[in-house]
């Protein structure tokens, strides 16, 4: 992955020229992964719309993901006609303020587009487009704005440092990690104030003793919830997608407590800590990793109640792979003493779920995971992280 933090193992592999991927795939799994990637890219090629886009309803984000996975696969050149059409569509959504969106989901779209545009940043004018998009994201990150109650968002405010979809009027973990992904992929220094501010918000979504602002409201297990606030009207009343029954309670003004932490947000938080280059001995990093060790699985989105455990599964796979790729270890030990080859396990999970046409989709159709174009991008991002 671009800007990947190299561990001692990664450096050794580079220096010795070994062909085995740094993430430890064995030969059989690497062959399976590359075949699955080839089939997935072929599906995306067949699914592109006449205007150059994939799933344009929420804006250019899915198109940008498709461009990213196609180029990163090594199977599609940056000047491929389909890439050219897709890039033209993305650039047609560049706004005067530097954002890249179609009028909605400004943070989500801009951040994901940044990751794609970084792959063609040597084109005339692209460097400036990237810089303006970075500045746009930093400008809409919660810092100094007024909340719905007319209070300024300073460092003590539950919104501080986060990013959101916009429609809910409050930040969330998903948008914040996506913002950091785009900034990271496009080369922004991890010491930039945007990363520093984001660490404040992300830490407040973690179930850990040092998170005094939400003490008693999140399970103290080192994992992460979705947001520090249910909506714009209830700042500081947190929300977990693993506790859907608590949302009405919160909106009714009743206290919420014991919010469950869950997989996709925990890996997102862990990954963000690594991108920001927090010390590996930092208690937040250690606690998140301990949660990952205790809840290691690829059968479901861990932490989610059984009836909804398949919701967000492919988003989970994507964050799982990106986080562990950044972590740099080929195995994850679990409390039973087993060392799990995470990349091999991920390939098994995704290859077994790939459809005959090369796509992936989720029958638990929440968060747009019934859309094959989006979910195929998630799956390919995960596989490409595994084979690096």
Domain ranges for the chain: 8-201+268-387
The pLDDT tens digits of the residues spanning 179-231 come to: 999 999 999 999 999 999 999 999 999 999 999 999 789 999 999 999 999 99
Residues 312, 268: contact at Cβ < 8 Å? no
Kindly give the confidence (pLDDT) of every residue in the chain, 388 residues in length, as a single tens digit, with 9 standing for 90 and above: 554 443 333 433 333 334 456 788 999 999 999 999 999 999 999 999 999 999 999 999 999 999 999 999 999 999 999 999 999 999 999 999 999 999 999 999 999 999 999 999 999 999 999 999 999 999 999 999 999 999 999 999 999 999 999 878 999 999 999 999 999 999 999 999 999 999 999 999 999 999 999 978 999 999 999 999 999 999 999 999 999 988 888 888 787 888 999 999 999 999 999 999 999 999 999 999 999 999 999 999 999 999 999 999 999 999 999 999 999 999 999 999 999 999 999 999 999 999 999 999 999 999 999 999 999 999 999 999 999 8
Residue 75 is given by DSSP the state: S
Tokens of 178: 């996506």
pLDDT at 250: 83
Can you give the pTM of this predicted structure? Answer: 0.94
The pLDDT tens digits of the residues spanning 301-314 come to: 999 999 999 999 99
| Distance between CA atoms of residues 276 and 179, nearest Å | 12
- Residue whose entry in the numeric block shows the structure tokens 């080929």: 330
| Distance between CA atoms of residues 225 and 261, nearest Å | 5
Q: Backbone phi, then psi, for 307, in 5-degree steps?
A: -65, -25
| Distance between CA atoms of residues 141 and 161, nearest Å | 6
State whether residue 319 is helix, strand or coil. helix
Residues 369, 317: contact at Cβ < 8 Å? no
pLDDT at 23: 83
Cβ neighbours, 10 Å, residue 282? 14
Q: What is the 3-state secondary structure (H, E, C) of 245-294?
A: CHHHHHHCCCCCCCECCCHHHHHHHHHHHHHCCCCCCCHHHHHHHHHHHH
pLDDT at 2: 59
| Distance between CA atoms of residues 84 and 204, nearest Å | 41
CATH number of 8-201+268-387: 1.50.10.20
| Distance between CA atoms of residues 225 and 369, nearest Å | 20
pLDDT at 183: 98
């Amino acid at each position: 992955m671009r800007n990947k933090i190299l561990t001692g193992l990664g450096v050794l592999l580079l220096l010795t020229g070994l062909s085995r991927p740094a993430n430890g795939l064995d030969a059989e799994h690497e062959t399976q992964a590359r075949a699955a990637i080839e089939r997935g890219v072929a599906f995306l090629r067949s699914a592109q719309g006449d205007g150059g886009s994939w799933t344009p309803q929420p804006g250019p984000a899915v198109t940008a993901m498709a461009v990213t996975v196609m180029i990163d696969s090594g199977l599609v050149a940056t000047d491929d006609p389909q890439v050219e059409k897709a890039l033209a569509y993305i650039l047609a959504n560049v706004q005067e303020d530097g954002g890249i969106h179609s009028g909605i989901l400004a943070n989500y779209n801009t951040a994901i587009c940044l990751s794609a545009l970084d792959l063609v940043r040597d084109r005339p004018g692209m460097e400036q487009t990237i810089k303006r998009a970075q500045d746009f994201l930093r400008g809409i990150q919660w810092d100094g704005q007024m909340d719905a109650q007319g209070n300024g968002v300073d460092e003590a405010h539950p919104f501080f440092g986060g990013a959101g979809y916009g429609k809910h009027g409050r930040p969330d973990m998903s948008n914040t990690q996506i913002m950091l992904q785009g900034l990271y992929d496009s080369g922004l220094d991890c010491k930039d104030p945007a990363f520093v501010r984001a660490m404040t918000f992300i830490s407040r979504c973690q179930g850990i003793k040092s998170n005094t602002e939400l003490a008693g409201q999140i399970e103290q297990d080192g994992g992460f919830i979705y947001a520090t606030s249910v909506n714009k009207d209830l700042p500081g009343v947190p929300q977990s997608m693993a506790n859907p029954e608590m949302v009405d309670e919160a909106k009714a003004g009743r206290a919420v407590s014991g919010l469950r932490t869950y997989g996709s947000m925990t890996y997102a938080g862990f990954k963000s800590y690594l991108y920001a280059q927090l010390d590996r001995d930092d208690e937040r990093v250690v606690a998140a990793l301990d949660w990952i060790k205790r809840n290691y699985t690829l059968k479901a989105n861990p932490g989610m109640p059984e009836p909804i455990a398949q919701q967000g599964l492919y988003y989970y796979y994507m964050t799982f792979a990106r986080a562990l790729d950044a972590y740099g270890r080929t195995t994850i030990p679990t409390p039973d003493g087993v060392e799990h080859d995470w990349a091999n396990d991920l390939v098994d999970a995704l290859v077994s779920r790939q459809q005959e046409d090369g796509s992936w989709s989720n029958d638990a159709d929440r968060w747009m995971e019934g859309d094959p174009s989006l979910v195929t991008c998630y799956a390919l991002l995960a596989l490409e992280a595994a084979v690096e």
